[in-house]
Amino acid sequence: MKHALISPNETAYSYDGTALGQRVAEVADTFFEVAPPLFWAECSDDVVADQFYYTGGEILPVPLPPPPPPVSVVDQQGPTVVAE
């Protein structure tokens, strides 16, 4: 089990600017003494700093932005959607 260092003075935001919770500033195998208001919370092994946030006692992933819309290419036969 790993430990996530939570920074309650820093807000984690979604891609659209929505405030999600408190920033996960670091992830470590063993925790060490930190100054308040920082604190440690147990987390799963897949948690990564700045890609997860802490809210309501849970550590959750920051949502990814939606994929961009398909690119439309116009040729002699009309528009064609090109997958990327």
DSSP code per residue over the chain: -EEEEEEEEEEEE-TTS-EEEEEEEEEESS-----TT-EEEEE-TT--TTTEEEETTEEEEPPPPPPPPPEEEEETTEEEEE--
Q: With 90 as the cut, is the pLDDT of residue 80 above it?
A: no
Residue 16: inside a domain: yes
With respect to residue 10, please indicate whether it lies within any of the assigned structural domains: yes
Mean pLDDT of 69-80: 68
Q: State the average pLDDT over residues 22-41.
A: 97
In a domain, 74, yes or no: no
Range 11-40 average pLDDT:
97
pLDDT score for 69: 87
Determine, yes or no, domain membership for 83.
no
Judge whether 23 lies within some domain: yes
Number of domains in the chain: 1
**In this predicted structure, what is the pLDDT of residue 70?**
86
Average pLDDT, the chain: 91
19 within domain boundaries:
yes
- Could you tell me the residue range of the domain that residue 56 belongs to? 2-64
Residue 63 predicted with pLDDT over 70: yes
Report if residue 57 sits inside a domain: yes
